Amino acid sequence: MRVVCTACSCLCDDVLVKDKVYHACRKGFKLIKGEREETSINGEKSSLEESIKVARDLIDGKKLLIFGLDNTTCEAQEVALKIAKDFEATILDHSFIYNIQEFLKLPSIKLEKFRDEGYVSIFWGSNPHNSMPRLLSRFIYYPRSGKRQKGYEEDRFLVVADLRKSETAKIAEKSKSGLFIKIDNDYELIKSFIRVIEGKACKYLEVAKVLKELEKAEINAIFGGGGLLRNLKDAKLFKELIEKTGVYFVPTLNKANHRGYIEMMIKKTGFLAYDFKEDTNLSKDKILNAFKDCDVALIVASDPLRTLPYELSKILTEKKLIIINSLKSIIAKITKSVVISTEISPFSGGSMIRCDGVKVQIERQSEKVSDLDVLKMLMEV
């Protein structure tokens, strides 16, 4: 059967699952063939109905925190938001680590259009070799498509700006049609671009070559990863760079439906984290308190011990937890919690938003309960 892989926000729709898994990258393979979570209560196997009942009893009348959601479908995210409203809970995902809201307002481009017409791709604080392994081969650097039939030999130019020489940086450095800029400070690189455009001297001399390459085509893009999004306090200077160079911006968020969560939250609440009890936005400085104050945490499709700073993840391990997840997670292993196993999203049906903002439909291929089903059951029981 043909499935949409949800291992990263590339959302590849050409993955075949038969006796073997075809076309998937190693992240996709790990998702599809990875060891599944088992439904349990405090480490002992239980039925779905029993776990849902215990989970609901835990939630009722308690201060609830809903966390995760970046790897689940848009439909499940909406039900989670409804639960947050109904139970006056706090809802948040990983977005507070990044400064992403401002970046999503920048002019963006669909990956298919970039595949057909794009020339310069600048990966800034991003290492797609590991975070989105098929991005370069499907859309950015290697494809021969549309106006770019000569592929990476002549029709593409890859720039990697990073503070370490990542695998992608090595590709750029070795290639005749590529360039690696080793940076210490993101602001300095932005300033270098702006200064060269204004005809002034700058810190990073490679910028002049990049600007020369940008002039060769109309469609060029910056693919900003966690390194860029986390380090820039605001997008003002970066916006100026985008305006002056005329390049597009695509966030390379590696969590499958991170963009879906952000778009839903901005549309429905105006903020990325929200406390429905206080009916207010949860700013960065209040997040630690939100973790401390909650009685129960509902974790959906996430492993906070892998992704959150220790100050926060440590607090979670001391709380009562309800974990809705498909693959084995560290948090389920080391805590006594209610774990509800669900089908992985490539088989569970629904929709997700790709990193460039395109909505991708996922066909339901399995009868096993999905994150959406479990969240609905939690509401209705």
- Check residue 164 for interaction with another protein (CB under 8 A): yes
Of positions 28, 68, 118, 128, contacts another protein by CB under 8 A = 128
Q: Looking at 99, 121, 254, 345, which residue binds another protein (CB under 8 A)?
A: 254
Exactly one of 77, 99, 126, 335 binds another protein (CB under 8 A); which one?
Answer: 126
Is residue 121 part of the contact set for another protein (CB under 8 A)? no
Q: CA-CA distance, 64 to 60, in Å (whole number)?
A: 9
Shortest Å, Cβ 220 to another protein: 22
Q: Give the type of residue at 62.
A: K
Residue 106 · residue 99 · CB < 8 Å: no
Least gap, CB of 165 to another protein (angstroms): 4
Size of the site for another protein (CB under 8 A): 33
Give the number of other Cβ atoms within 10 Å of residue 52's Cβ: 21
Stretch that binds another protein, among 113-121, 138-146, 257-265, 328-336 (CB under 8 A): 328-336
Residue 141's nearest CA partner among 120, 112, 125, 124 is 120
Q: Is residue 127 a contact residue for another protein (CB under 8 A)?
A: yes
Q: How far is the CB of 309 from another protein (least distance, A)?
A: 5
Residue bearing tokens 């989970």: 55
Q: Does 212 bind another protein (CB under 8 A)?
A: no
- CB 305 to another protein: min, Å: 4
Nearer to another protein, 239 or 319 (CB): 319
Instruction: Identify which range of 140-148, 291-299, 330-338, 365-373 contacts another protein by CB under 8 A.
Output: 330-338
Three-class secondary structure assignment of the chain = CEECCCCCCCCCCCEEECCCEECCCHHHHHHHHCCECCCEECCEECCHHHHHHHHHHHHCCCCEEEEECCCCCHHHHHHHHHHHHHCCCEEECHHHHCCCCCHHHCCCCCHHHHHHHCCEEEEECCCHHHHCCCHHHHHHCCCCECCECCHHHHCCEEEEEECCCCHHHHHHHHCCCEEEEECCCHHHHHHHHHHHHCCCCCCCCHHHHHHHHHCCCCCCEEEECHHHHHHCCCCHHHHHHHHHHCCEEEECCCCCCHHHHHHHHHHHCCCCCEECCCCEECCHHHHHHHHHHCCEEEEECCCHHHHCCHHHHHHHHCCEEEEEECECCHHHHHCCCEEEECCCHHHHEEEEECCCCCEEEEEECCCCCCHHHHHHHHHHC
Q: Tokens standing for 284?
A: 């960065």
Q: Does 333 bind another protein (CB under 8 A)?
A: yes
130 binds another protein (CB under 8 A): yes
> What tokens were used for 79?
């039900």
Cβ nearer to another protein, comparing 91 with 161: 161
- If one asks whether residue 225 binds another protein (CB under 8 A), the answer comes out as yes
Q: Is residue 302 a contact point for another protein (CB under 8 A)? A: no
User: Applying CB under 8 A, does 131 fall inside the site for another protein?
Assistant: yes
Residues 1-40 as x/- pattern, contact with another protein by CB under 8 A: -------------------------xx-------------
Closest separation between CB of residue 107 and another protein, Å? 24
Rule CB under 8 A: choose which of 216, 309, 358, 361 binds another protein.
309
User: In the complex, what is the shortest distance from the CB of residue 298 to another protein, in angstroms, rounded to a whole number?
Assistant: 20
Asked if 305 interacts with another protein (CB under 8 A), we say yes
Minimum CB distance to another protein, residue 232 (Å): 13
Nearer to another protein, 148 or 354 (CB): 354
In the complex, minimum distance from the CB of residue 64 to another protein, in angstroms, rounded to a whole number: 24
CB of 252 to another protein, least distance (A): 9
Phi and psi at 291, nearest 5°, equal -65, -40
Positions in the binding site for another protein (CB under 8 A): 26-27, 97, 126-131, 162-167, 182, 225-227, 230-231, 254, 305-311, 313, 330, 333-334
